[in-house]
């Protein structure tokens, strides 16, 4: 056999002949095969070796065939390492006993006397199970680390204005509950940041925070993205896939841009929220879901309800607690704190010595209306830090255009440059489609992601 052997097997049985015969056969297929007559040695063996499969007899004492020793040792093995894979050795007629043992955590059983090929097949599939358990365990650990890192990354919400202080108090009060939260605010005001802060301060913090940008999901992919699909349920469904609801089970689901959902999709979403169960596309099986729901939008949902563009019953389901984040122009007092926070961050990121913002630059920032809110401020500071040659940021490091802030800005001829025209056009089209990214991107002849890149670039 040219394949390299791998896998460590432990066989525990009081029959020495059986042990020897099994070892002789199995050592041709596995890297290590240890045999042991006395089950009392199992804990010591397990502390020295990480076995992939343990083959365990059910009865060790002469004339005892109750299987109780097998159950006892199975339980001990699983206590020592809950991910152990145990295959039981049972005599013909002991099937009931084996079934009971599988319920107690054994993986499989082999009947004595066994056919060598059958034993090998059982051990190979037990090993595959062990490998997938290890992969799942590693993924769980990685997932926890990622969640931790994400939680920490978003730990700092800057703001000392009374409006922000009130928001901090609300976060404190609602985080511990499971109440649905609706966050309202213009683009770039920090809606996602607040949603993450709620998750981080909730009892679900060790579980997933799953965000979905409803504005960028097409009608056709909505159900598959949110509820998952079964392989073959549509042309592109190459594999079974869990949807965002399932992925956020026991954690928090953040539905961003909820105001952009069409009426039919609102109805579908409402049904799932009411039933608290999802079925993957192409499957009838319903999976119960336990999620904390946080929604966000920059759209005027209450007006939309009046105009029959947003379902009132959906609004009432998602807005148990409402948090309205004021735009930056309504809390200018937060600008210095935020600007200095970003200055420190980007100076360190780009290894620059700049460490101060001049009064003139601050005045200029106070005069700017910040249509892209904190995201725009963040980008303005980043750009200024990159371009600056001194230790102090000056007014000229901030190149605000006169049109910025006006919803429908008109440019004079001398202000025309390609970027300004592009910015103006994007604003107009977005306004026309009430912020719906998919429709705006189609009209502009862009993909959704390139439109997002431009929005990011211009702080829109």
Ligand X SMILES: Nc1ncnc2c1ncn2[C@@H]1O[C@H](COP(=O)(O)OP(=O)(O)OP(=O)(O)O)[C@@H](O)[C@H]1O
- Binding stretches for ligand X (CB under 6 A): 156-159, 185, 187-193, 256, 298, 338, 374-375, 378
Q: How far is the CB of 50 from ligand X (least distance, A)?
A: 43
Which residue, 59 or 260, has its beta carbon nearer to ligand X? 260
Could you write out the DSSP letters of every residue in 214-235?
GGGS-HHHHHHHHHEE-TTSST
Which residue, 186 or 397, has its beta carbon nearer to ligand X? 186
Could you write out the DSSP letters of every residue in 153-174?
HT------SHHHHHHHHHHHHH
Q: How far is the CB of 327 from ligand X (least distance, A)?
A: 10
Q: Encoding tokens for residue 274? A: 């009411």
CB-CB contact of 102 with 110 (8 Å): no
Q: How far is the CB of 110 from ligand X (least distance, A)?
A: 56
Which residue, 229 or 331, has its beta carbon nearer to ligand X? 331
Which residue number has the CB closest to ligand X? 190
Q: How far is the CB of 359 from ligand X (least distance, A)?
A: 22
Name the residue with tokens 């993450």.
Answer: 196
Q: Encoding tokens for residue 118? A: 């059958």
Which residue, 174 or 299, has its beta carbon nearer to ligand X? 299
Q: Encoding tokens for residue 164? A: 């922000």
Which residue, 268 or 345, has its beta carbon nearer to ligand X? 345
Could you write out the DSSP letters of every residue in 317-385?
HH-SEEEEPPPGGG-GGGHHHHHHHHHHHHHHHTT----EE-HHHHHHHHHS--TTHHHHHHHHHHHHH
Smallest CA-to-CA distance from 299 within 215, 228, 210 is with 215
Q: How far is the CB of 251 from ligand X (least distance, A)?
A: 18
Which residue, 202 or 298, has its beta carbon nearer to ligand X? 298
> DSSP letter at 281?
B
Q: How far is the CB of 192 from ligand X (least distance, A)?
A: 3
């Amino acid at each position: 056999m040219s394949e390299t052997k791998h896998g460590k097997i432990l066989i525990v049985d009081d029959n020495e002949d059986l042990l020897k015969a099994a070892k002789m056969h199995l050592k041709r297929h596995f890297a290590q095969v240890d045999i042991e007559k006395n089950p009392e040695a199992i804990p010591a063996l397990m502390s020295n070796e990480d076995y992939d499969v343990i083959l365990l007899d059910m009865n060790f004492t002469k004339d005892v065939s109750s299987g109780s020793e097998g159950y006892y040792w199975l339980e001990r093995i699983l206590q020592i390492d809950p991910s152990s894979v145990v295959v039981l050795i049972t005599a013909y007629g002991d099937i009931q006993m084996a079934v009971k043992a599988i319920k107690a955590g054994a993986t499989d059983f082999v009947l004595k006397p066994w056919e060598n090929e059958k034993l090998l097949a059982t051990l190979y599939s037990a090993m595959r199970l062990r490998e997938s358990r290890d992969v799942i365990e590693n993924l769980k650990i990685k997932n926890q680390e990622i969640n931790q890192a994400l939680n920490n990354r978003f730990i700092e919400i800057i703001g000392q204005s009374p409006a922000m202080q009130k928001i901090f108090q609300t976060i404190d009060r609602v985080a511990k509950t499971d109440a649905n939260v609706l966050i309202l605010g213009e683009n770039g005001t920090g809606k996602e940041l607040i949603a993450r802060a709620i998750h981080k301060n909730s009892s679900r913090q060790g579980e997933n925070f799953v965000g979905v940008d409803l504005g960028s999901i097409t009608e056709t992919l909505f159900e598959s993205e949110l509820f998952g699909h079964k392989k073959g349920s549509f042309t592109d469904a190459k594999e079974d896939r869990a949807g965002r609801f399932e992925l956020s089970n026991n954690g928090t689901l953040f539905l961003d841009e909820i105001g952009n959902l069409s009426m039919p999709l609102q109805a579908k979403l409402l049904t799932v929220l009411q039933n608290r169960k999802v079925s993957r596309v192409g499957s009838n099986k319903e999976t119960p879901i336990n999620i904390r729901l946080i929604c966000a939008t920059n759209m005027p949902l209450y007006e939309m309800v009046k105009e029959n563009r947003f379902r009132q019953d959906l609004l009432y389901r998602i807005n148990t607690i409402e948090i309205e984040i004021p735009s930056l122009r309504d809390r200018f007092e937060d600008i210095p704190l935020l600007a200095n926070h970003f200055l420190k961050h980007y100076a360190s990121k780009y290894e620059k010595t700049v460490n101060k913002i001049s009064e003139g630059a601050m005045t200029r920032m106070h005069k700017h209306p910040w249509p892209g809110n904190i995201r725009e401020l963040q980008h303005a500071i980043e750009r200024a830090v990159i371009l600056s040659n001194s230790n102090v940021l000056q007014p000229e490091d901030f190149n605000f255009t006169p049109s910025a802030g006006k919803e429908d800005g008109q440019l004079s001829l001398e202000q025309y440059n390609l970027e300004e025209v592009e910015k103006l056009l994007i604003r107009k089209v977005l306004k026309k489609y009430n912020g719906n990214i998919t429709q705006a991107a189609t009209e502009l002849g862009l993909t959704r992601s390139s439109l997002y890149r431009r929005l990011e670039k211009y702080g829109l």
